[in-house]
A and B are shown apart, each in its own frame.
Chain A
Amino acid sequence: DIQMTQSPPSLSASLGNRVTITCRASQSISSYLNWYQQKPGKAPKLLIYAASSLQSGVPSRFSGSGSGTDFTLTISSLQPEDFATYFCQQSYRTPLTFGGGTKVEIK
């Protein structure tokens, strides 16, 4: 199975800050990497697919990069509605696997 490791597990940041979350795959997955945002009690929401493609309707302050084993999700200027947990997920092969999540909290 392909293991996905996210870091950090949590972070505190202020409004307007730039935030970077990393995701590492246990083997190369090319660009088969997706990012989701989840708020408490809600279903996950797709932000980025294929490592760097922004899902329709998602604000442009979100961006994704990387290929192979190392990926990043960047929020260029943190907004109040961005406080949530973020998950990466590989779609290179089954079993489809997720990272452990990064909780973004208010500083």
Chain B
Amino acid sequence: EVQLVESGGGLVKPGGSLRLSCAASGFTFNNVWMSWVRQAPGKGLEWVARIKHKSDGETTDYAAPVKGRFTISRDDSKNTLYLQMNSLNTEDTAVYYCSREDSSGYFIWFGCWGQGTLVTVSS
């Protein structure tokens, strides 16, 4: 069974740091691109960051609001995706989902999602 399981969320003070993890199973993790997508309470979906697989140089890309503060990484030996979040502010409060990017030719979509982990930034 294909599964993504996030962990590491919680309550953190403004300016603090947190590292999220996403454990993947049921598919060949090192063959896929992965992303983090977040959703603030009662709001829509916002893409946060992407990391390509090793064959594509593990290239990373970030949304403007998190660039320079968040770092996406992966450990293919552990089938795990990470999101290191620094200098957190209240606007980062959200449920964070990890997602597998599936593709056909140049078409890409979020084909598999984790259950999400809640990050709350508050004093």
Contact = CB atoms under 8 A, between A and B. Distances in A.
B11 to A, nearest CB: 19
Given A34-B109, A49-B107, A50-B107, A43 B44 contact: no
Interface string B87-123: 0000000000100001010111111011110000000
A1 B115 CA distance: 28
Contact of B97 (A43, A95, A99): A43
Interface residues of A, number: 26
A31 interface: yes
Interface residues on chain B, size class: 20 to 34
A32 B107 contact: yes
Interface of B: 35, 44-47, 50, 61, 63-64, 97, 102, 104, 106-111, 113-116
30 contacts: A1-B64, A32-B107, A32-B108, A36-B45, A36-B110, A43-B114, A43-B116, A44-B110, A45-B113, A46-B109, A49-B102, A49-B107, A50-B104, A50-B109, A87-B45, A89-B45, A89-B109, A91-B107, A91-B109, A94-B50, A95-B47, A95-B61, A96-B35, A96-B47, A96-B50, A97-B47, A98-B46, A98-B47, A99-B44, A101-B44
